[in-house]
Amino acid sequence: EGPVIRFGSTRERHEVIARYLARLTAHRPAIVWLDDVQWGSDALAFAQHLLDTQERAPSRVLLVLTARSEALSETPLEREMFEQLVSRPEVEQVRVGPLGDEHWAPLVGELLGLEGELALRVEERAAGNPLFAIQLVGDWVERGLLLPGEHGFEPRAGTSGLELPRDLHQVWLARVELLLADRTKEDEPALEIAAALGQEVTGDEWRAACALANIDAPDALVETLLGRHLAGTNE
């Protein structure tokens, strides 16, 4: 197993990452993408730290932070931190609007294979968010609520109206809950640790973190995540 690095504080961890980026970009610039920061006060704090330390530890880094405005309204701490960031002169805020109406019919009808009333309901709830629509239909297929029909996906016989989640977060939450329902309760904390480690996690890092928490890191859980397209691999 790989070494375990412990930091005395969040600031120390941010400082180590900032110094690493300074060395990494000594000869070529880099782009660092922090996604879904409406749920990540730590990511927002790191962005603030990196900007604050540019004079003494300059790095040629373009930070790209993405956030969903409707979700920010539900997370007061992250919203305040986000507003502090965008108020800085070196930060540019770019608003990305929903997909245009003219593109929705091809997406829902041709790519997702939906039609009729169900297609209209998905279009209305997704409100121009393609990822929401794709993940929603994928969740329905995964749970066996949609089956291939003559002209596209159709609700399974006996399904009286498909429930439409409020947002993409609920879609992912439902898929994770479905995954955990088929596994032992010990897998839940192991999955939480993997999520806390970030978007990319090495096996050694995950097992070491689980060992610190005195829980197992089940390889079968990884295989299930990959099989249900809730995780990917670089191999």
Q: Which pLDDT score, from 0 to 100, does residue 188 have?
A: 86
Q: Which letter does DSSP use for residue 106 in this model?
A: H
**Stronger pLDDT, 55 or 127, i.e. the higher one:** 55
Q: Which pLDDT score, from 0 to 100, does residue 158 have?
A: 61
pLDDT tens, position by position, 68-107:
877 787 788 998 999 999 999 999 999 887 677 677 767 7
Q: 104 with 123: CB under 8 angstroms?
A: yes
Angle between helices 168-181 and 130-142 (to 10 degrees): 20
- The radius of gyration of the chain from alpha carbons, rounded to an integer in Å, stands at 21
pTM for the whole structure? 0.51
Region 191-214: mean pLDDT is 85
Phi, psi of 147 (to 5 degrees): -130, 150
Q: 180 with 188: CB under 8 angstroms?
A: yes
User: What type of residue is 100?
Assistant: G
Q: 133 with 120: CB under 8 angstroms?
A: no
pLDDT tens, position by position, 118-166:
777 777 767 667 777 777 777 777 777 777 777 667 777 665 556 665 6
